[in-house]
């Protein structure tokens, strides 16, 4: 069944004003990648989930962690992931070609620039730019994450996710333990730690914005104080001896 027909159109409901549709931002792309990795790495439920269930869980994770005021449906998330997966897979293949050349003295940045140039040259669109480097940086270190989702000739989305429930139960029954399962746990822990570090960085950025806003408010307050002093000095210096009646009384009262 085509994924667009199988997924329910569920919208985010929030108490704050949201903006709907439009291109995904870098922050939304990163959150979508995080959601896909988190749900697809669920060893207990991985391969036993139907597409609708899987993307519903991805959408749920996205909603719970969305701080950007956007509204996205399950179909829009799956469509964006398909684009991310396609482009990062293509770029990963180009990077592999560059790495295979064993260029002596080539830095990582030089290799990255060469892969970008190959991407541009191989694209049918003129002056094409690789727009998902921020996603590729995360996915390139995640085994089985790039090219996990593709589309066949019938445009039917095919999902592959690691370790199903039966395999998981079998592994737990092994008396001598299982190196593959321990490796999975280590990767899961590493991913959780990185996510925690990203959360800490987000809080640091938010605190810095608050500090900058407070400084700006203090500067505006000081400018207002200086303007008030300047106006008061002008009034105090005003000569009233040549004034008559109410005009003189007005400025005398201001001086007082």
| Structure confidence at residue 2 (pLDDT) | 38
| Structure confidence at residue 244 (pLDDT) | 84
| Structure confidence at residue 177 (pLDDT) | 58
| Structure confidence at residue 8 (pLDDT) | 36
Cβ proximity of 88 and 37 under 8 Å: no
* pLDDT < 50 regions, the chain: 1-20, 46-47, 148-166
| Structure confidence at residue 187 (pLDDT) | 85
Cβ proximity of 28 and 68 under 8 Å: yes
How does pLDDT run across 58-71, given as a tens digit for each residue?
Answer: 999 999 999 888 88
Question: Please, is 81 exposed, middle or buried when counting C-beta atoms within 10 Å of its C-beta (0-12, 13-18, 19+)?
Answer: buried
DSSP state of 147: T
- Residue 77 backbone phi and psi in degrees, to 5: -65, -45
DSSP state of 24: P
What distance in Å separates the CA atoms of residue 235 and residue 250, rounded to the nearest whole number?
Answer: 11
CB atoms within 10 A of CB 136: 22
CB atoms within 10 A of CB 73: 18
Question: 64, 60, 87: which is closest to 74 by C-alpha?
Answer: 60
Cβ proximity of 69 and 18 under 8 Å: yes
């Amino acid at each position: 069944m085509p994924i667009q027909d199988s997924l329910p159109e569920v919208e985010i409901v929030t108490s704050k004003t949201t903006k709907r549709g439009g291109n995904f931002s870098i922050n939304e792309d990163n959150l979508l990648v995080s959601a896909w990795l988190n749900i697809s790495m669920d060893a207990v439920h991985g391969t036993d989930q139907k597409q609708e269930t899987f993307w519903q869980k991805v959408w749920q994770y996205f909603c719970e962690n969305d701080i950007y005021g956007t509204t996205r449906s399950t179909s829009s998330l799956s469509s964006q992931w398909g684009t991310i997966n396609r482009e990062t897979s293509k770029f990963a293949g180009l990077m592999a070609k560059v790495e295979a050349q064993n260029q002596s003295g080539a830095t990582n940045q030089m290799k990255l620039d060469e892969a970008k140039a190959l991407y541009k040259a191989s694209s049918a669109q003129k002056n094409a730019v690789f727009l998902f480097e921020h996603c590729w940086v995360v996915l390139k270190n995640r085994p089985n994450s790039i090219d996990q989702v593709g589309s066949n000739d019938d445009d039917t989305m095919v999902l592959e996710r690691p370790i199903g429930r039966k395999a998981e139960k079998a592994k737990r029954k092994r008396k001598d333990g299982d190196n593959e399962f321990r490796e999975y746990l280590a990767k899961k822990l590493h991913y959780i730690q990185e996510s925690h570090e990203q959360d800490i960085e987000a809080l640091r950025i938010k605190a810095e914005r608050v500090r900058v806003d407070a400084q700006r408010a203090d500067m505006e307050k000081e400018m207002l104080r200086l303007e008030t002093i300047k106006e008061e000095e002008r009034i105090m210096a005003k000569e009233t001896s040549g004034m008559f009646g109410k005009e003189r009384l007005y400025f005398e009262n201001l001086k007082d």
